[in-house]
Amino acid sequence: MEAGLRILEGIVTTLNEDGSANISPMGPFVDEGMTRLLLRPYQTSTTYRNLKRSGEGVLHVTDDVELIARTAVGRLESPPKLLPAPHINGKILADACRWYEFRVVRIDDSQPRTEIEAKVVGQGRIRDFFGFNRAMHAVLEAAILATRIEWLPAEEILADFERLAVPVEKTAGDPERRAFAFLEQYVREQLNAKRADAAVQERT
């Protein structure tokens, strides 16, 4: 990885073929001046397909942990308010703190996690960034764990959730508690379904 780039956890919006918005958490590598991005989506993801097709998207900095939690596992019950992007064909989260419109300049499909280089072509600020307390960091970690159910042992995931529950109990506000409870329930449901599938396969 090129020196001078670091990961910025955020949410990326891209447009689907029907013009609707796809909203996904993503941590691209960014430079200090926020002039270029390096995204590494899996080729099975909607974000990858949309960027491959249209070459445009918007990266958002947000402190909305409930939105991060739900979009991480594809359980967004209702879409948030969106605004038209001024410089590209895209959508901006109306409640984001900052946003960065980007255009793709290079795609490397030679590995399962594609490398997509992009340049920032527009940016804006909507409100101040509240910042992350320990509970918010815990929700971010929990959201990442929730996307790794297929690859990580169940015991490891559950142990990590127990560890993450401590800062949530000590420092969370209502949004963080709701987000963590949602992720915890989601993970248990998915692990139970995974165990049930394994049991069926053993009997057949």
pLDDT digits (tens, 9 = 90+) for 96-122: 999 999 999 999 999 888 999 999 999
Return d(Cα 154, Cα 128) in angstroms, integer. Answer: 38
Return d(Cα 196, Cα 204) in angstroms, integer. Answer: 13
Domains of the chain: 6-125 (2.30.110.10), 134-203 (1.20.58.290)
Measured from the Cβ of residue 2, the count of other Cβ atoms closer than 10 Å reads: 8
The pLDDT of residue 170 is 95
Question: What is the biggest distance separating any 2 CA atoms in the chain, rounded to whole angstroms?
Answer: 57
pTM over 0.75: yes
- Cα dihedral 150, 151, 155, 161 sign: negative
Mind listing the pLDDT tens digit for each residue in 39-60?
999 999 999 999 999 999 999 9
Say if residues 126 and 95 touch (Cβ distance below 8 Å). yes
Q: CA neighbours within 13 Å on the CB side: how many for 153?
A: 3
Measured from the Cβ of residue 75, the count of other Cβ atoms closer than 10 Å reads: 12
